[in-house]
């Protein structure tokens, strides 16, 4: 993926897109980082999915058996960092409002 950000100025809108290809999934010290281009605004976006507890859970729930395997797809939302018009004050993301799924390795 090129390092050039081809951002398109568009108003903030929560719009879902189908499964997206072309995203890079890299392992970090804390989890998996998904990086690519937002299908709505074209901005470079990156999200990190943190790993859970390294050795499972301690305490009351420790004997519940193996946890479920990690999901094969994750929900990604735009984190381009550009200020989009009509952005709600309480928006939890830092992007244009678009979201989509990415397949994990």
Dihedral class, residue 83 (left if φ above 0, else alpha if ψ from -120 to 50, else beta): beta
pLDDT of residue 90: 85
Is 59 within a domain?
no
Torsion of CA 52, 58, 61, 65, to 10 degrees: 70
Residue 16 to residue 29: CA distance in whole angstroms: 30
| Strand boundaries in the chain, DSSP class E | 24-27, 31-37, 44-50, 73-77, 99-103
**pTM (predicted TM-score):** 0.75
29 is a domain residue: yes
Contact 99, 16 (CB under 8 A): yes
Residue 39 lies in a domain: yes
Domain limits for position 75: 8-50+66-105
Q: How many domains does the chain have?
A: 1
Q: Is residue 83 part of a domain?
A: yes
Say if 14 falls within a structural domain. yes
**Tens digit of each residue's pLDDT (9 = 90 or more) over 38-66:** 999 999 999 998 876 655 555 565 555 55
18-56 per-residue burial string, b: 16 or more CB within 10 A, e: under 16:
eebeebeeeeeeeebebbbbbbbbbbbbebebeeeeeee
Give domain status of residue 2, yes or no: no
pLDDT for position 98: 96
Task: Specify if 35 maps to a domain.
Answer: yes
Answer whether residue 36 is part of any domain: yes
pLDDT tens digits in sequence order for the chain, 105 residues long: 445 568 898 999 999 999 999 999 999 888 889 999 999 999 999 999 887 665 555 556 555 555 556 568 999 999 999 989 998 888 888 899 999 999 988
């Amino acid at each position: 993926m090129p390092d050039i950000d081809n951002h398109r100025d568009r108003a903030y809108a929560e719009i879902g897109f189908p499964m997206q290809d072309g995203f890079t999934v890299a392992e970090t010290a804390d989890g998996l980082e998904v990086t690519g281009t937002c299908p709505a605004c074209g901005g470079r976006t990156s999200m990190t999915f943190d790993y859970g507890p390294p050795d499972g859970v301690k305490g009351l729930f420790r004997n519940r058996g193996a946890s479920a395997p990690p999901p094969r797809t994750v929900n990604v939302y735009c984190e381009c960092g550009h200020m989009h018009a009509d952005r709600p004050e309480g928006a939890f993301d830092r992007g244009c409002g678009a979201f989509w799924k990415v397949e994990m390795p």
